[in-house]
Amino acid sequence: MAKRVPLPVEVITEILLKLSVKTLLRCKCVCKSWLSLISDPHFAISHFQLAASPRLLFIARLGSETLSIDFHACLDDDSASSQQPDFLCPRSYPEIRGSCRGFLFLDFYRDFYIWNPSTRVHKRIHLSPLTIASHSYFNANNRTFSLLHGLGYDVSTDDYMIVVGSYKYNYTNPSVYSSIDLEIFSLRANEWEQIEFDSDLPYRNIASPQGGRRVGSFLNGSIHWLVYNYETKSNVIIAYDLKEMTLSEIALPDDFNSGHSLRIYDLMVFGGLISVWIVKSSKIKIWVMQEYAAHSSWTKTLDFSFYPAPGFSPVCFTNRGDIVGPVADGGLAKLNDKGQLQEYHSYGGRCFMRSEMAVYTESLLSLPDDTGQA
């Protein structure tokens, strides 16, 4: 009988790093050494850096099911898996406010949650007094509205941060704008902090596909939003740097702000690049910034009419360059770079246009100081 020779730890590690999160969670039960290895934070970081392609997660607004979909594969039920936020009440409908390093930022009534759908680790975060005011339906003439939401990660402090921007709306004089107030929640410090700036922030949101609240996109240590500057009367990207605690502007393509009435638009970050898009009727335009914060690097990559996919709005790109997003009749569509419909799937008739969606990468990462609950 041949003698079994144990594999070196380095070889075992390399093999495990190539497995999915779902498989690795099962592998924890194989033996104590594997449990220790897979639970090591350094292993989780290495696995995330080598992680497979991102997935698309949506929370159905007309039902209780939450699905995670491999949008690089075929849009069928075989590529979808259930990822239920089971720490919430049954038939709850939280809103997705951001995504970062495998974690999703959920807004549910009077609480925020940070949730890793892959490991089910989550943390409950109570709203700040200012944010609670934005959730109130009774606030006389000056109601506070949450305008900006985002989740980011500061590598210098190994800290996840929630950013919320709010403003007051004056019902008696709607033409008078108030500036935006920014608040930061540090998961490591476990507290809210209001950020003070030297000048008012003259930003407003219009035509948001999220129904009035912009969801931030995290890239290069900053959270980005596409907003309207009511002083310059033009759209612009603003970026909040989590480490430096500064806010800066990134100008949009020169032809973005012209000739686009009655449209919806937003930005998305994919493949380490910022993209902005406009949809009007059945026509879509997409620009990509090839070099971060370099205005001259804006490139219009797509400009076409699409049919038969009415009401389409892009969410992400596939590895092949196709575009995936919801359509008006309640499903997901995949279009090629010429606007031709490649795939469509309804996932049982769920209404995607009334669902919450976010792109995330599966990860084993945990929250600072193990503050998350499984």
* pLDDT at residue 211, as a whole number: 46
* pLDDT at residue 69, as a whole number: 86
Q: How many residues does the chain have?
A: 374
Strands 66-69 and 181-186: unpaired
∠ Cα 252 257 261 (to 5°): 145
**3-class SS of residue 220:** coil
The whole-number mean pLDDT for each consecutive block of 10 residues of the chain, a chain of 374 residues, reads 72 90 91 92 92 72 70 80 78 83 88 91 85 54 70 95 80 62 91 80 60 77 89 88 93 79 79 89 88 94 76 85 81 86 74 69 85 56
Q: Rounded CA gap, 357 and 279, in Å?
A: 18
Domain chopping of the chain, boundaries: 8-50
What values do phi and psi take at 306, rounded to 5? -120, 145
> H or E segment at 36?
helix 32-39
* pLDDT at residue 85, as a whole number: 80
Strands 111-115 and 103-108: antiparallel
* pLDDT at residue 77, as a whole number: 67
